[in-house]
A and B are shown apart, each in its own frame.
Chain A
Amino acid sequence: MYIEKHIPNREKDEKLVLFLRRHWIILIIKWLVIIVIAFVPLALYLFLSYFEPEVLDNNIYYAFLFLLSSLYYLFTLLFFLNAFIDYYLDVWIVTDHRIINIEQRGLFNREIAEHTLERIQDVTAIQKGFWQTLFSYGDVHVQTAGEIQRFIFRQVNDPFNVVRIINEEIKKFQKNEEHELMEKIRPQNSME
């Protein structure tokens, strides 16, 4: 699978279990706000047309407002792209060995943290408020025994199912570890 090849520091037999991003509604809300902001020059133009038409008739004012509007729209478009990149580059990956937290905090500031499943102590899902309940998204808090003690999967889709899957993977991981330990002990016992 394409994504599996791009898991950071991927181990040989590591399998992808979950690949999570924020819920799509978060991006849509940001985009809608940006689209509303994009109407400001248009509203200003209509206001001036009706109430202060002499401003638009003046060549100098018109040139200034024209270029300012053009720059305004270009930078609004840039914010549009930035909102998508901020959404797209924040990912949370759960494999059968570990969880990986990749967060892009603005430009040139990227954080990747990972923890093996055996160091996870507690997994909690939190769904708060009307919109989170309606669209079924929320936060998943993963408590670990390590320097970074808590991972937070922010605004992910179906957080309760994510918690269930992580707990299942932890149980499988622990069973495998016990099985491997028993395999190591058994030959020693048979020799005795």
Chain B
Amino acid sequence: MIEISLYTLLIIYGLGVGIFIVFAIFNLYHLFAYGFLSFSSFFVTFLFLAITILLLFITYTYGQLIDWSATLVI
């Protein structure tokens, strides 16, 4: 029997968020390095960052309601 804490899922989630941030930086770098700055590029960047922050905030808020100390028994 193996007991895995739910905190493990949080670590995997953190890795996923890390990969997301890396690719987001790559994409934004390309936009600023090669794009002609305009209202549309600024607006889409703003929208992307705003929704990202909103998603992470919602995840944090509702994630607090979960009992992460529980264990998964395999």
A→B interface (CB under 8 Å): 2-3, 6, 59-60, 62-64, 66-67, 70-71, 73-75, 77-78, 80-82, 84-85, 88-89, 91, 104, 107-108, 110
Contact A77 B52 (CB under 8 A): yes
What residue in chain A is nearest B72 (Cβ atoms)?
A60
Determine whether the beta carbon of A77 is less than 8 Å from that of B55. Answer: yes
The residues of A that contact B62 with a CB separation of less than 8 Å are 66
- The answer to whether A71 and B23 touch across the interface, beta carbons within 8 angstroms, is no
A-contact bits for B49-74, CB 8 A (1 contact / 0 none):
00110011011001100111010100
Q: Which residues of B contact A89 (CB under 8 A)?
A: 30-31, 34-35
- Given A85-B31, A89-B35, A108-B26, list of 8 further CB < 8 A pairs? A6-B36, A62-B66, A67-B12, A73-B55, A78-B27, A85-B27, A88-B31, A107-B30
Given A74-B52, A89-B31, A110-B34, answer yes or no on A66-B44 (Cβ-Cβ < 8 Å). no
CA distance A80 to B56 in the complex (A): 17
A74 in contact with B17 (CB, 8 Å): yes
Interface size class of B (residues with CB under 8 A): 35 or more
Contact yes or no, B9 A104, CB < 8 A: no
Distance in Å: Cβ of B51 to nearest Cβ of chain A? 6
Contact A70 B34 (CB under 8 A): no
Q: In the bound complex, what is the Cα–Cα distance between A104 and B48 (angstroms)?
A: 20
Q: Which 10 A-B pairs have the closest CB atoms?
A: A70-B59, A67-B13, A71-B16, A74-B20, A81-B48, A84-B44, A63-B66, A59-B70, A60-B72, A63-B6
Closest B residue, CB atoms, query A62? B66
